[in-house]
């Protein structure tokens, strides 16, 4: 076990070092390292930001089941849920911070804010969510789940986790948005996807934690996993309905993109874990939960990228002159390293928190 833990820390260390090197190169050289251009301006780092940010919101909403709504199964898991939500939102900030390409761009967000911009509002809400999550974790760590301060942080994180995905979706829904985004439907879709991502991420994490750590809470974890598997199947059903409805509406009102291999493939890969969850034997097994949750997360990440790029690869307006009807895009190695860095930050925080912060302790 000690050797495996050392290897795991080495992998995380390599990811962090590669990410730090990428950060230095980006801040010195800027966006030239990305395969972005005047038309395709949002690339893989923004896709990873959306994925981690929505996953954080989903985890925050899931943690509220125990603290605000008194669901016993999630009370004991609450501290771990809050920690994972913090790690996910920090991973999101790493992605978007490096996407900006310059330290000047980062601190000018605070020195010269524009609260008429959905992007500024989105960043502000996620910043407040992070503060509330940190405050909630602090109160849980000192064994305080019931005081007024603790409940205030809990309510704050719940409200921010609820509204942040809606605002994030509205970034694609303003009147200036590209027609292919079909943005008016995206806020609701983002909220649904946030819930699915949070449930899937926590289910995968809990399965791995149960397999790796042989602690005294095995029976409680089994009950939690059983409930997570049911919630995962149900939320996937809702997500499939919303995704197909969004794709159909988009094809009817903008460009006929519904009948494409990508849309059918994404719907299929969301349907597979849903179908797995309908089989009791698969739903009850650890491997079934792991495969279903992992496939869900991978498909949702791909969905974010397709939505993000779908509204950009078709040039519109003056920039369309002299360009093909559809542009191609593939991420550069530096964009992949931003994703690796963000994931390494998330997993490093989770790893050290499991070792040093008593995440299984239930606050009174």
Question: Quick one: pLDDT at residue 245?
Answer: 78
Q: How far apart are CA 187 and CA 169, in angstroms?
A: 4
**119 burial via Cβ count (<10 Å: 0-12, 13-18, 19+):** middle
> How is residue 33 annotated by DSSP?
G
**Residue holding tokens 């200036």?**
176
Q: How far apart are the first and last CA of the chain?
A: 32
Q: How far apart are CA 101 and CA 89, in angstroms?
A: 19
Name the nearest CA neighbour of 150 among 236, 78, 232, 244: 78
Question: Quick one: pLDDT at residue 183?
Answer: 59
Sequence length of the chain is 364
Q: How many CA atoms lie within 13 A of 212 on its CB side?
A: 14
Cβ atoms of residues 145 and 364 within 8 Å? yes
Q: How far apart are CA 177 and CA 173, in angstroms?
A: 6
What is the SS3 assignment for 184-252? HHHHHHHHHHHHHHHHHHHHHHHHHHHHHCCCCCHHHHHHHHHHHHHHHHHHHHHHHHHHHHHHHHHHH
pTM across the whole model: 0.92
Tokens at residue 338, please?
A: 């931003």
Tokens at residue 236, please?
A: 């996937």
Q: Walk along the chain (364 residues) and give the pLDDT tens digit of each residue.
A: 688 889 999 999 999 999 999 999 998 888 889 988 888 888 999 999 999 999 999 999 999 998 888 888 898 899 999 999 999 999 999 999 999 877 777 777 777 878 778 888 899 999 999 999 999 999 999 988 888 899 999 999 999 999 999 999 888 765 455 555 555 677 888 899 999 999 999 999 999 988 887 665 566 678 899 999 999 999 999 988 887 777 776 666 555 554 455 667 778 888 999 999 999 999 999 999 999 999 999 999 998 888 888 777 777 777 767 777 777 889 999 999 999 999 999 999 999 999 898 887 665 5
């Amino acid at each position: 076990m000690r050797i495996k833990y050392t290897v795991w820390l080495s992998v995380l260390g390599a990811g962090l070092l590669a990410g730090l090197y990428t950060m230095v190169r980006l801040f010195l050289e800027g966006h030239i390292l990305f395969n972005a251009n005047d038309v395709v301006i949002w690339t893989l780092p923004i896709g990873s930001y959306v994925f981690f940010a929505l996953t954080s919101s989903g985890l925050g909403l899931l943690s509220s089941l125990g603290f605000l709504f008194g669901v016993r199964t999630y009370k004991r898991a609450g501290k771990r849920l809050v920690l994972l939500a913090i790690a996910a939102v920090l991973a999101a900030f790493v992605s978007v911070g490096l996407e900006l390409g310059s330290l000047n761009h980062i601190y000018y967000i605070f020195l010269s804010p524009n609260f008429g911009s959905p992007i500024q509002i989105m960043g502000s809400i996620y910043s407040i969510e992070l503060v509330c999550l940190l405050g909630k974790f602090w109160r849980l760590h000192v064994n305080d789940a019931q005081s007024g301060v603790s409940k205030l942080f809990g309510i704050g994180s719940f409200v921010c986790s609820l509204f942040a995905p809606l605002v994030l979706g509205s970034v694609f829904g303003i009147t200036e948005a590209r027609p292919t985004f079909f943005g008016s439907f995206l806020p609701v879709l983002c909220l649904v996807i946030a819930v699915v991502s949070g449930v899937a991420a926590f289910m995968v994490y809990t399965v791995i934690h149960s397999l790796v750590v042989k602690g005294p809470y095995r029976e409680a974890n089994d009950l939690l996993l059983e409930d997570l598997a049911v919630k995962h199947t149900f939320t996937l059903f809702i997500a499939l309905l919303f995704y197909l409805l969004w794709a159909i509406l988009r094809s009817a009102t903008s460009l006929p993109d519904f009948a494409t291999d990508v849309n059918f493939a994404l719907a299929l890969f969301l349907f597979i874990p849903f179908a797995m969850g309908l089989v009791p034997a698969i739903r009850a097994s650890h491997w079934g939960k792991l495969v279903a949750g992992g496939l869900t997360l991978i498909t949702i990440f791909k969905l974010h990228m397709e939505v993000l790029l779908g509204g950009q690869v078709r040039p519109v307006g003056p920039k369309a002159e002299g360009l093909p009807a559809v542009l191609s895009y593939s991420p550069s190695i530096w964009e992949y390293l931003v994703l690796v860095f963000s994931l390494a930050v998330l997993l490093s925080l989770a790893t050290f928190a499991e070792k040093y912060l008593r995440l299984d302790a239930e606050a009174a």
